[in-house]
Structure 1
């Protein structure tokens, strides 16, 4: 980093966070579209929301454009195709339980190639449009993902015998690879499930919805808690939950989530936090506007001006491993805070020495920090997660693994499920005692 930037970026960072941000009005000329794949389980969940969404769209955004791709993008984070598919099936099960989607929880599996070909033919041939097409689309997804292949073949035969390929501008069949379903509006992409509420907020802000949407009914907003009853809270606290975070130090989302969890969840639920920094991953290709919006919603300060280099992340890790074990969470919080709110560059000796003084570190550790990071990398890779930070929650003898800003709500959801199971077991035991 240049000398000018080292001097100017801290000033620019303070100005950036304090300035009033004005939401831009996104253009509507391209309408609203959703991109799907018939063999993508997230598309299956998203299809269950489309009829309700379409009912609420203003005439300006109708018809909703449906883009169906037959090509999958490469799995993320160097996962194999099989690992990615298994992750998606498990993740969809969690989403379905949380948000009350229809889903085969007993034995979910990818649809067969023959079934996918039949389903695409039905959708290409059907003359149905508007809401009727969306109902058909949802039914087709149910047939594919619940292995109702007899029903699917019947529809396929009828389509081939009675119809020909149709052409509608709002129905597009594409070879463009997509990894998972997403909406597109005004040049921005929104994950079809995780970003659905963010999308509807945007549409409401621009007065593009005719009513109030009710999606993802069990969604937990930032700075809200699922458990507020004092007795229930005490029971969770008494279980001493433990949460491991595997974080990429150059990743702004890792800072935002570590800060949010430390400030909002750790003390509230008596969570013991453990942080495991990872080797430099080059995570610099971010939607920085998304990170900025997330910082506003979580009320965690963030500025995008100082993105740590490989040398800087190694210096940050050396600072982290130089403090006592019981002080490392606070140390990591201060280190990341200095980077992401004050634009400190820890490849610069003066910034490193100042943080060393602030942390009360007399001498930097002579531990092989690079080896420690590689050990953390290996442990993180074994979790088979597609994104960072990777989180491991342990409570009541069980371990739960998830990842990224889109799954932070799982911490409180898991606590709630643990209590529900505990109460059920207690009731069953009481009933058994009474019967005896």
Structure 2
């Protein structure tokens, strides 16, 4: 991709961008001078779709107008509300309709999946995860191991970068499995690493794990809505993700869950059951014996949080209109443009630790700051950049293709340059 650092080029790229029209469908936070902030933090919290206000207000009005009848007597009936999200969500994560359900929040979903897919037995007790996995994943995995009477210090195997490198090498994972395969019960990896932005080959990881008799699951929090996941084709046993990052559902909002179709009718799998996972035809018969819905819906516990689901419905409509393949194509180009601008900066204080090959990353670029003390991040924040700092020395920036522009990237690098 051929770029230059002229402002006119950014303007021209935005004019040629067919997806630029979606920016006006979101609300951009304002800086103190009342201009739009340079918002590059969709990897932490996506922007609010404007229609989310309409959809939430509709549910509030229906609540006032209908009361409990809103569960049945309306177009988007509350008893079925999660179903109105399934097809779009399945398209985004590359799964079959019956393999996906929108429910709960991220870490609870991870726990519910490990109840079913982490079954330590004999010496097969260990879990493999990235050395720098997101802390919530580490806490969840460690607590599951303790629950089963294990020792996290012994039963977690951490996939480490090689000395002097920041990203992980698939050959090293293969080596771990070659040495410890018969001791490993589960491989649980973040599909896109939250810190480096590295996007892993999920199909290859699954094949490696299954060849050694391991279950395989993925935390797709930084991947859903960002990169093509093709979860069904990977063969993974399960995956979980939040929707408040690239999927723009609002702070702390609802999450998603994938269970591969080969487990759809396996009622012998242990699970923590709840009535919303019970056979829909019998749900209100109030029977004592649990009969799970085939597929991912059978892992539901409680009825849906409607006011959290309304914003994600607004966002998913925009994703379907834009087309995920189109968004991914723009993302690759937009992030490559940002990469070019960053590499064009003078000096050596900024180093991109995210892979330079587009197939190995999403839209996030992680910038290691030499001699960092967070002051540089604070300076760019004061000048209108909304990005993300991660200790000890990384600024994470993520141009989300559905609302970010080439001018956002140009403005960010200009502010960064003046602040170095």
TM-score > 0.5, shorter chain as reference: no
Higher RCO, Cα 8 Å, sep 6+? 2
Given the two structures, how large is their TM-score scaled by the length of structure 2? 0.27
TM-score in terms of structure 1 length: 0.26
**For the pair shown, which has the larger CA radius of gyration, 1 or 2?**
1
Greater helix proportion: 1
